[in-house]
Structure 1
Amino acid sequence: MKRVLLSVLIVILSLLTSCSKESENSNNTVKISGFVKSSNNIPEENVKVSILNFENLTKYTDSEGYFEIEGVVKGKHDLTLLKNNVNSNSEVFVQRTLSVTANEDTNLNALLLPNPVILNPASEITSSSALLSWNKSTDNSFREYKLYRHNSSGIDEKTGTLVHVTTDINKISFFNNGLNNSETYFYRVFVSDEFGSIGGSNIINFKTQSIQVVKNGSFENLTNNLPDNWSLEANDFGNPKNTITIDNTDATDGVNSIKIYHAEEKGCFEQWIKQSIEDNVLIEGAKYKLTFDYKSDFSSANSLVNLVLRNWNNTLSEWYRIDLTFINDGQWRPVNFEFTLPSKFDNANIKLMTHFCVYAKGNYWIDNLHMERIK
């Protein structure tokens, strides 16, 4: 009988202890509720409202912007508001974190989200620069704008390259210099406060303007009957009858072409035309296309031209062979040749040279010589 009474007593004490703990826990938690609105005072639906560091304490606002979180331990907490897909754009988000002290059920009547920051289309685009601009943030806790650049649309604060930071809320543009020609860039701006990001903009992209690598490729600009930007080397030491001159009677572009005379039936005297390339025009690892037109007054199936790109210290010394078939029929023929530059070289003091190797005696003409980046 004593054992039965002892067991009943233990059960009663356990129930009393449990009820006491439940009452204690109930008295130690509160409810936080409120309304979330946009900076224009419009209710914001589907805003994620979270008590920081408590994954289970998360709610989403309804169509009226209302949320209610129960079971919040009394005391001071960081409350985070996060709105994704702003303006139906999956890239744009706004976020606000604020400190809340709740020792009783607390209603936060008007929580305002900052306005989204939107990047405008780039303007003033050149071959090496562009102007980026965005709208002004309205958040009172603003700390800085951070502009990132990347080579694909997968751009965020980890993958992108930080190109600009400003703590002035009114400075909402940046002129980005030092870009590569003929290249596509992606940009995104993030807004931060003391807690971190409070907004991420849309992603924009644009392609910088292309540059014609070869200047005066149609040989129209002359000084003393020599083509500007070009150096002509007929190799008349090898044979004093070798010549390179301007012909203003036949051309495919304009009125001038280059006329080269090779004075030997056999052999391959090095006859050159060459020019200096501006610094930072050629891009490491990029793909290019060389085009020109040619014709001859002789026939030869085994001639060629070497395209040579070389800098002062030979970190770039590329020879590209282009086989030519000369036919004595008076017709101009086009050449299209693609090549890829090395992934690393000193991009200064580069010279472009075309070395013609002809196994026949006679005249041949070159015109409309151009080179541009294609990838």
Structure 2
Amino acid sequence: MVDIPAPHAYVFENGINHPLLYLWDAWSYIDGDVMHLYCLAVSRNKPDGTTLRPMERNAYPFHIRHFTSENNGFSWKDEGCFLDVDRCEAHEDCHNIWSGSIAAMPNGKKLVAFTTLEHIDNDHKFLQNIALAYSDDGFAVHQILDTKLSSPRRDWELITNTGYYMSDPRILGSNAGEEKGPILAWRDPYIFAKKNESINLFWGGKVGPTESALVRAELRKTGTTYNVSRLYPPVRVPDSDEFTQLELPKVLYDEANGLFYLMISTCNRLYEGQSDDEVDKGVRVYKSGSLDGQWESLGSKILGSENLFGPTVLRTDFKNNRLLCIAPYTDAAEQQRSLTFSTPFYVYLDVLRVEFLESCDLNFSD
């Protein structure tokens, strides 16, 4: 196990460059004037004190790190560990945690969705499952729901009969990938909740070894727990032939105009072990008049040239047709920025362009 440091005393400005942790992937929510940011994290050092290289991080358990901001993301306070593997192992066969989301419920509690990884054996470390938990205040997980919401091994027939691709059940989670393609994809759940309507969960999946799809599931609440009441057929966005992996979906609703927006992070990795120099990453945005689609692309992918991936939307500003976002730098960025967070930026939806911000004097219409 690598060290999980206590909250750092330093207040991070103009992004988050944590001296003790690598940070990547992002999700968030707002509670009053406070922005809550979550991400995956792992120590920059191995247990023996030597440097852990970014490319080695999958060999160690991650934790979910939590930061807060009261000035629209221009400075961030480290709130420490939100969830770690030790907590999950008490409820599930979990050897690692991958990305998820969090949303406030009408009773004031926070519903937490995240990805757990089962360690079948040393050759099958990537069996992903969708899991849920509760947080009373957004600062820690207080209850992990005991049963996996969706499990490729348990639900293989349902998943494949609905149109999604899964490799042979006997080799699920193989380190070598699926039929010479990338590893299994059943990850990064995003909670979409509209008032007085069922909760929908979106995550990344596949329809072929190298063909990605957006997964949508409708949830039913029974007592204090949830189950999948409906797994929808795979959603393929218009330019899905340009990438092989769809990750970290975010679904947003512009109530005034009755429009839904979908933001995804994508890459064109063809097989496990492929050099990162050959992999093209980016962020794509779509819109639709219905949660059922069809999704319309707003233009070419963005943020790839900045080496940013896995953004979150900190705040919506639909009256000005823009989203306030923040994103981590990939490990392809220059060394001092690799696996740190950027300054906030706007994504403008009318012409799909990005504007990085240098002042915290922000005005929001929503």
| TM-score normalised by the chain length of structure 1 | 0.19
| TM-score normalised by the chain length of structure 2 | 0.20
Specify which structure has the higher proportion of strand: 1
